[in-house]
Amino acid sequence: MLTAILNSLRTGVVTSAYPATPAKPPERFRGAPEVRPGAQVDLLPSPSVCPTGAIGGGSTAAYSIDLGRCVFCGRCAEGAPDRGVELGRQVELASRRRESLMLQVASDADGRATAATAPPAAGQVAGQIRRVLGRSLALRHLDSGSCNACDWELTALLNPVYDVRRLGVDFVASPRHADGLMVTGPVTRNLATAVRRTYEAVPEPRLVIAVGACACSGGIAGQSYASAGGVAEALPVDVFIPGCPPRPEAIIFGILLAVGRVDERRALFAAASPPVL
């Protein structure tokens, strides 16, 4: 807040330049876990340290980190300086495929961890997405049982610092006026019917963006008698945005990733619809 005030006094502008310029998270930002290059496999953290079960396997051949389930708590990166995992600073982690959020770790002949499979959205499409700024997108926010952390980050998108409306993106009050849904929360059983009806009220071609670890995988709650375990268990999801909660820049990246998805949906819908005579 103090930085924003100082910037406004100096330049009169507080709005972030993202996505035209790369995101600059603060120094204390805790990003997604990353396997350190050349780290010994036996120094990788045990799956038991993860409170959400995001670390799978534990053996050399089956070690994995599920960023869709990870809450970025940092417990896997605690310990000795030569630990096998460190927290990164990347915010552009959103992906159109749930499996792309799974980091697979292998080892070489010397027992060192090889590079994990990173979400393709981060480096491969960032430049392309930053050029897609002239297209509008109307979204309806749907809380399906979240703790409200992700909801606060969505609210931040409308403040003068992030001002998502400058990108042609706006939040609307009715699903009938929306191009798609931004869903937070794991979809509690009591809200499952409301989630489905809200989705059906969005005109075709519609899309769904899952925001946060709970929406991606169920998060801390997981799947149980009271939780569906993620939005994909109830609706077809087009973009997954990991994090607990994801930073506003991460959400903006996910929204812009969805813009291309909207164009694809509209083209398919137009091709499938009979001409009006």
Q: What is the pLDDT of residues 207-225, one digit of tens each?
A: 899 999 999 999 988 899 9
- What are the two backbone dihedrals, phi and then psi, of residue 210, each rounded to the nearest 5 degrees? -90, 120
Q: Nearest 5°: CA angle at 34, between 229 and 62?
A: 65
Give the residue, 107 or 200, on which the prediction is more confident. 200
pLDDT in tens, 56-88: 875 555 788 999 999 999 998 887 666 788 898
Residue 229 near residue 223 (C-beta atoms within 8 A): yes
Residue 248 near residue 104 (C-beta atoms within 8 A): no
Q: Of how many residues is the chain composed?
A: 277
Lowest mean pLDDT among 110-119, 137-146, 171-180, 193-202: 110-119
Amino acid identity at 106:
A
What are the structural domains of the chain? 127-271 (3.40.50.12280)
Q: What is the DSSP letter of 185?
A: S
pLDDT in tens, 102-148: 988 877 766 677 655 555 444 444 444 444 444 678 999 999 999 99
Q: Nearest 5°: CA angle at 249, between 264 and 105?
A: 80
Give the residue, 115 or 93, on which the prediction is more confident. 93
The sign one gets for the Cα dihedral 99, 253, 33, 50 is negative
Please tell me whether residue 177 adopts helix, strand or coil conformation.
Answer: helix
The rounded percent of the chain whose pLDDT value lies above 90 is: 43
CA 160 to chain centre: 22
What pLDDT does residue 28 have? 87
Q: What is the DSSP letter of 90?
A: -
Please tell me whether residue 8 adopts helix, strand or coil conformation.
Answer: helix
What pLDDT does residue 45 have? 86
Rg, Å, the chain Cα set: 20
What pLDDT does residue 58 have? 58
pLDDT band at 273 (very low <50, low <70, confident <90, very high): low
What mean pLDDT comes out for the span 168-180?
Answer: 92
H or E element at residue 45: none
Residue 137 near residue 260 (C-beta atoms within 8 A): no
What pLDDT does residue 121 have? 45
CA distance 186 to 208: 14
